[in-house]
Amino acid sequence: LIRKKAKPGLGARIRGFFHKPKTAAPAGPTEAPAPTTAAESPQQAIDTALTLAHGSKLAEAIELLQRATSQWPEEAPLLHVLGSLLGQQGNVPAARRYLERAVEISPGFAGAHTDLGNVHQLGGELEAAATSYQRARELEPGNPNPLATLVQLQLKQTDLPAARDTLQVLIEIAPENVEARLSLANVDAELGQLPQAAEGYRKILEVAPESPDIQSRRGLTLNRMGEFEAAKRSYVETLRLAPDDYRHHNDFGLLLARMGEQDDALNCLRRAIELKPDFAGAHINLANQLKDQRQLQAAIDSYQTALKLEPGNADALNNLGNALSDCGRIPEAIARHRQAVEISPEFAEAHSNLLFTLLYDPAVTTAELQREHQAWADRHGCEPAQDPAVHVSDTSSRPLRIGYVSADFRAHPIGFFIEPILRHHDNERFHVTCYADDAHKDEVTERLTALPARWRSLAGLAD
């Protein structure tokens, strides 16, 4: 269980919901008295209203501007500021009405188009919001504000490719915008473009070298890429900067486990628990490592601690079931797997583990096994695809190409079973390539890679 990081760079790091009107509030006290006389000009009304709004008198600012728009109904800046303040108040219909009127009167008013997009977004009108932002962008190509708000919308719609394109344009306009660069690196990581993400984090660290969170993100990305030594260096630096952050100890422990440095991994995970005893994820991760080292009772104890903290944690229940099964405590294991499936019905792995464990219970009949397997197929299976027509050319003059894809070319049943197959392939008749979907290596991996087959690493690549 790898802790899922919060993603402040995905939208939340690009702020500025409502475009600030170009006319700034006059300097002075934040607590402005309510005006007793009508404004002498639209600009005076705007200045006074902004002063009131900045002084937490939003309702009075709106009332003043509503009176002013009755006197000057065709003043686009006045309508724009009133619409923006109504948007801040949450009055979407009124805000939309005033901002639409502002852009109708002044079609080239980019700020009003931006805030109209904000109001559309606030009202759930996402397509209309995108149209407004695009229009503002066309009117002021060098203004980063419409791009920043457009990125927020695209991320809200989980349209990551579009967000990536917009962020690249935003960075061209404002190359010093570190938050935009962070958002781009985060989007690259989400899209599985890991080398670009790692490079993005590296460049951010050039200007913000003392940021433990950026170091940690880079370490996590390098870990996913299988670049373990580089990831380790990032985590060492992360912990130098934030030695008491339980999250970084947890993540570093997971990396060390992948590197085979089990003792150090256990120490990191135990330190994470010392710093944050109620973090169930660290207890689960510690239990996983203890289970891998065959310290089964200690693993069971850690899983149970995690379940005291989060009784409905399906991962902990599933993994506890596996540990109990390894101990031969089959009825208890079955019960835990059933709990995991009841809590998370779409958890196919837990359901599969339940089927596997049932095979070890002599009290379970063949008919019951069939029903259980059919239930799995009904929930997680799919209709078998029709075999496509295969047109095979004459292969008599060339070797047949065969590819094996697995994450288990190691000390695992697949690793053991594939070894004699690879060893005895006729290399003149078969062109064999193995695609390893895991960067973990052991002595079995070394034996396999020494055999006459080509090897490609898929570690860290998205589906």
Dump pLDDT digits (tens) for 378-407: 999 877 666 666 666 665 678 899 999 998
For the ranges 18-32, 106-120, 204-218, the one whose mean pLDDT is highest: 204-218
> Dihedrals φ, ψ of 31, to 5°?
-90, 95
- Would you give the distance in Å from CA 4 to the centre of its chain? 8
pLDDT tens, residue by residue, 233-261: 999 999 999 999 999 999 999 999 988 89
| Tokens (6 digits) for 292 | 């891998």
Categorize the per-residue pLDDT at 121 as very low, low, confident or very high, splitting at 50, 70 and 90.
Answer: confident
pLDDT tens, residue by residue, 313-360: 999 999 999 999 999 999 999 999 999 999 999 999 999 999 999 999
The predicted structure's pLDDT at residue 413:
87
User: What mean pLDDT do residues 34-57 have?
Assistant: 80
Per DSSP, the three-state class of 404 is strand
Distance, in Å, from the CA atom of 430 to the CA atom of 456, rounded to the nearest integer, reads 17
The predicted structure's pLDDT at residue 16:
29
Is the pLDDT at 232 greater than 90? The verdict is: yes
* Residue in 330, 392, 335 with CA at minimum distance from that of residue 357: 330
Distance, in Å, from the CA atom of 81 to the CA atom of 50, rounded to the nearest integer, reads 8
Q: Is 320:354 a contact under the CB 8 Å cutoff?
A: no
User: What mean pLDDT do residues 187-197 have?
Assistant: 93
The predicted structure's pLDDT at residue 1:
34
Contacts (Cβ under 8 Å, ≥6 apart) of 373:
355
The predicted structure's pLDDT at residue 38:
66
Q: Beta partners for 403?
A: 433
Mean pLDDT of the chain: 85
The predicted structure's pLDDT at residue 460:
64
The predicted structure's pLDDT at residue 385:
64
Categorize the per-residue pLDDT at 123 as very low, low, confident or very high, splitting at 50, 70 and 90.
Answer: confident
The predicted structure's pLDDT at residue 136:
82
pLDDT tens, residue by residue, 144-161: 888 888 888 888 888 899
Q: Beta partners for 279?
A: none
| Tokens (6 digits) for 111 | 């700020």
Per cent of the chain over pLDDT 90 is 52
User: What mean pLDDT do residues 25-32 have?
Assistant: 39
Question: Strand 454-457 and strand 430-436: pairing?
Answer: parallel
The predicted structure's pLDDT at residue 344:
95
The predicted structure's pLDDT at residue 288:
95
Give the DSSP per-residue string, 32-55.
Answer: PPPPSS--SSHHHHHHHHHHHHHT
Segment among 15-19, 27-31, 140-144, 450-454 with least mean pLDDT: 15-19
User: What mean pLDDT do residues 408-416 have?
Assistant: 89
* Residue in 217, 266, 200, 197 with CA at minimum distance from that of residue 3: 217
Categorize the per-residue pLDDT at 7 as very low, low, confident or very high, splitting at 50, 70 and 90.
Answer: very low
C-alpha torsion sign, points 271, 277, 279, 282: positive
| Tokens (6 digits) for 225 | 């890429």
Give kind and range of the element (H or E) at residue 284.
helix 280-292
> Dihedrals φ, ψ of 398, to 5°?
-145, 155
Is the pLDDT at 290 greater than 90? The verdict is: yes
Segment among 2-16, 59-73, 81-95 with least mean pLDDT: 2-16
> Dihedrals φ, ψ of 417, to 5°?
-70, -35
| Tokens (6 digits) for 350 | 């837990």
Categorize the per-residue pLDDT at 135 as very low, low, confident or very high, splitting at 50, 70 and 90.
Answer: confident
Q: Is 46:81 a contact under the CB 8 Å cutoff?
A: yes
Distance, in Å, from the CA atom of 400 to the CA atom of 423, rounded to the nearest integer, reads 16
pLDDT tens, residue by residue, 418-439: 999 999 998 888 999 999 987 6
Categorize the per-residue pLDDT at 114 as very low, low, confident or very high, splitting at 50, 70 and 90.
Answer: confident
> Dihedrals φ, ψ of 404, to 5°?
-115, 125
The predicted structure's pLDDT at residue 325:
95
Residue carrying structure tokens 């130098």: 240
Inter-helix orientation angle 246-258/262-275, to 10°: 160
Distance, in Å, from the CA atom of 439 to the CA atom of 28, rounded to the nearest integer, reads 62
Measured in residues, the chain has a length of 463
> Dihedrals φ, ψ of 166, to 5°?
-65, -40
Sheet holding 454-457, edge to edge: 400-406, 430-436, 454-457
**CB count, 10 Å around CB of 34?**
11
Between 324 and 42, the more confident residue is: 324
Amino acid at 10: L
Distance, in Å, from the CA atom of 382 to the CA atom of 140, rounded to the nearest integer, reads 51
* Residue in 175, 109, 101, 162 with CA at minimum distance from that of residue 140: 109
Per DSSP, the three-state class of 433 is strand
